[in-house]
Amino acid sequence: MADLRLHRISRHFGEVRAVDGLDLSIASGEFFVLLGPSGAGKTTTLRLVAGLEKPDAGHIAIGGHEVTALAPALRDVAFVFQQYSLYPHLSVYDNLAFPLRSPLRPLPEGQIRRKVEEVAKLLRIEDKLKQSATRLSGGQMQRVAIGRALVRSPALYLMDEPLSSLDAKLRNELRLELKRIQQDLGATMLYVTHDQIEALTMASRIGVLDAGRLVQVGTPREIYENPASAHVAARLGSPRINLLDRALMPALQAPPQAATLGIRAEHLRLHRSTGSVNNAKVKRTERLSDQHLVHVALDGSAQELVVAAPGHESYAPEEAVSLELLRPLWFGADGQRIHA
Ligand code: ATP
């Protein structure tokens, strides 16, 4: 396994700056998740690292070796795509063995068998090895696709939304398995997704990408608790953070340049006695397993906020309440965080 360094990497397509001066260092053994909306430049970044795309500027090093000009086959990376790309005429066994039979790195059949069986076991498809690849369920096919990356021990795994085409149950299952396998192998992983749950549960560190630029890098907790901007704050957390005009809470102390208040649902407390400030009316409640999400509208405004309330409390529509804010976050007119 190896570390990865991107130094001021750019790739433009005409007017579109798909990747724009990206600096990124990923340590050996790290599970790094690039998180961003559609068009943020996630796939282009992976393709640049794999060598499927040439940068307009910048350098890429894997394991301390400059690879910017190297052909994809010589970079020692394994790529898992969003859509499983299996050889339909081959069995599961032969699909898994395929990368090990590459003329560039030929291996004896005995060694190939051992490796294929080991990976099949890891991915819980050892009973499917003789089957044709086309006779598998979607989840099994994606396991084979991931297995084809795992049979090799490349310097780096690159994964482009490998779970996005699976149903929710399988996605949850494979998310946990992939994380476990990555830890067992001590693999270096660059994983792309727009799914915040994947990012929060799998990543050692997350890089939030927006319009080809990294807007924040940190552990899931750092990014959740200390977002650098309103954009980052809104990307992580379910329910989404409440963002509202600072003027709607005039009684709250705020830094002078604050334009927007951000407050997470779990940092709001509801009180039944209404006070002189932050009064609101309950609009509706959603029951989750151990808590309610209470939607309230601030008095004198149409602005609604979502509050995570303990499951034993119950609120009726139109009930008058007041809000206590535990950890308000402040953002300037440009969306950047302002520390109080
Ligand atoms: P998604 O989640 O939808 O896959 P992404 O974050 O992976 O999005 P990219 O596929 O990297 O985004 O695309 C970034 C930008 O570059 C987009 O605006 C896209 O249209 C553009 N782009 C990517 N590849 C090409 C190409 N070959 N030619 C022209 N424009 C491209």
Q: Which of 44, 52, 164, 198 to mutate to test the pocket of ligand 1 (most atoms within 8 A of CB)?
A: 44
Can you give the pLDDT at residue 293? Answer: 94
CA of 211 to the centre of ligand 1 (A): 10
CB 152 within 8 A of CB 99: yes
Q: Which of 10, 33, 43 to mutate to test the pocket of ligand 1 (most atoms within 8 A of CB)?
A: 43
CB 56 within 8 A of CB 206: no
Q: Could you state, in order of their start, the residue ranges of all structural domains in the chain?
A: 4-235, 242-338
Q: Where are the beta strands (DSSP E) in the chain?
A: 4-13, 16-26, 31-35, 57-62, 65-66, 77-80, 156-160, 189-193, 205-210, 213-218, 242-245, 260-263, 268-271, 279-287, 291-298, 304-310, 320-325, 329-331, 337-338
- CA gap 129, 150 in Å, rounded: 15
pLDDT at 170: 80
Distance 35 CA to ligand 1 centre (A): 14
Q: Do the domains 4-235 and 242-338 sit in the same CATH topology, yes or no?
A: no
Which residue intervals of the chain are DSSP H helices?
42-50, 92-97, 109-122, 138-150, 168-185, 196-202, 220-225, 230-235
List, chain by chain if needed, residues with CB within 6 Å of any ligand 1 atom.
Answer: 13, 16, 18, 36, 38-44, 194
Please tell me the distance between residue 241's alpha carbon and the centre of ligand 1 in angstroms. 27
Tell me, what's the pLDDT at 5?
97
pLDDT mean by block of 10 residues, the chain; 340 residues: 95 96 96 94 96 96 96 92 84 93 83 93 89 86 89 91 84 86 91 92 95 95 95 92 93 93 96 83 88 92 92 90 94 94
What spacing in Å lies between the alpha carbon of 43 and ligand 1's midpoint? 7
CA of 13 to the centre of ligand 1 (A): 9
Query: Which fold, 242-338?
Result: OB fold (Dihydrolipoamide Acetyltransferase, E2P) (2.40.50)
Q: What is the amino acid identity at position 109? A: E
Task: Return the pLDDT at 1.
Answer: 82
Instruction: Give residue 227 CA to ligand 1 midpoint distance, Å.
Output: 25
Task: State which of 15, 35, 42, 158 you would mutate to test the pocket of ligand 1, scoring each by most atoms of that ligand within 8 A of its C-beta.
Answer: 42
Distance 156 CA to ligand 1 centre (A): 22
How many angstroms does the Cα of residue 48 sit away from the middle of ligand 1? 12
**Do 18 and 38 form a contact (C-beta atoms < 8 A)?**
no
Q: Could you give the CA distance from residue 268 to residue 118 in angstroms, rounded to a whole number?
A: 49
36 Cα nearest atom in ligand 1:
6
Q: Whose CA is nearest to atom 25 of ligand 1?
A: 13
| pLDDT computed for residue 111 by the predictor | 93
pTM of the model: 0.89
CATH of 4-235, one of 3.30.70.270, 3.30.230.10, 3.40.50.10860, 3.40.50.300: 3.40.50.300
Which residue's CA is minimally distant from atom 29 of ligand 1? Answer: 13
